[in-house]
Amino acid sequence: MITLGYTPEGAPVRADLARMPHLLIAGTTGSGKSTLLHSLISQLGECKSWGLLLIDPKRIEMLRWAHHPALLAPIAQDDEAALEMLAALHDEMERRYRALARIGATGWQGGERICCVVDEWALLALHPDRERRQEAMRLVARLSAAGRASGIHLVVATQRPSADVVTGLIKANFPARISLAVASARDSRVILDQVGAESLSMPGEALALLPPSRELARFRVVLPPDGEPGARRSWRGWRARQIGAWAASAVPMIAWLGALAAMWLGALIIVAQFSSLEP
């Protein structure tokens, strides 16, 4: 189980990537998408039964994980390396299927699971080279459709959840989806099949479709104060600080209202005393 974030009440929102079996994430710059990715990588990297593959076309987001012991290969930092990694993962999936067929098994049990994290999928999905673009789409579609039974999982993130990036085939194979703030209601419909994500205003605030539930889950991503994975800051703590600040600012007003009430009470007492006097 991995912790995605915290509800407004402070309860953790957890999910099992092995059952999802893939996760699609969308969010504009500054929405908290990268923080969510780092949190997921950190948690999966602590699980001995998981190996990691990282694709970072922007070449800067994943550098902190370059020497992580859970990495199965160097980080892919360009389109050519990314396609090679996806192709190798596809070959591994086919090899595992052949191994399962030899023993008559129908699913992956007990062996190492592999999670491939792709940051900024749009750079591959909209690659100017048509052949590379089509190959990336083909590999991700195949891996997302057939990877679960062989213990292979994808976490795909993008700043641009447009229909040409998140195609119908991609969505069909990624029933679990998370949207942080996006640019428009159209983008929200693409990622979540409904509006709402365009109204998210706070960094780290997210809406998610997490099967088997059909209702949107609302939570806030773990936001480490120093920007590094591992530190925790729940929404409950944030709300407590906001309430404390509001209470501190309300003290002078409360004191003024108390003084005003005392003045009015004194005036009523005086009026009552004069009213009781006989003429």
> In the chain, where are the structural domains located?
2-233, 234-279
Q: Please give the C-alpha separations between residue 177 and each of 69, 121, 174, in angstroms, as whole numbers.
A: 28, 14, 7
CB 154 within 8 A of CB 22: yes
136: left (phi over 0), alpha (psi -120 to 50) or beta: alpha
Is the pTM higher than 0.85? The answer reads no
Cβ 162 vs Cβ 190: under 8 Å: yes
Stretches where the chain sits below pLDDT 50 are 224-239, 241-243, 245-246
DSSP class of 150: G
Q: What is the 3-state secondary structure (H, E, C) of 40-65?
A: HHHHHHCCCCEEEEEECCCCCCCHHH
pLDDT at 245: 47
At 242, is the secondary structure helix, strand, or coil?
helix
The 8 Å CB, 24+ separation contacts for 102-109 are 106/149, 107/148, 107/149, 108/148, 108/149, 108/150, 108/151
Give the pairing of strands 217-221 and 205-209: antiparallel
| C-alpha distances out from residue 276 to 213, 270, 271, Å | 70, 10, 9
What is the CA angle 121-50-176, rounded to 5? 45
pLDDT at residue number 173:
92
pLDDT for the residue 246:
47
Q: How many Å apart are CA 80 and CA 96, to the nearest integer?
A: 24
Q: What tokens were used for 116?
A: 């491939």
Q: How many residues does the chain have?
A: 279
The Cβ of residue 70 has, within 10 Å, a number of other Cβ atoms equal to 18
Could you identify the residue written with the tokens 């990877």?
147
Which of the 8 DSSP states describes residue 78? S
d(CA 147, CA 244): 48
Specify the 3-state DSSP secondary structure of 216.
coil
Q: According to the model, what pLDDT value does residue 230 have?
A: 38
Q: CATH: 3.40.630.10, 3.40.50.300, 1.10.10.10, 3.40.50.150. Which one for 2-233?
A: 3.40.50.300
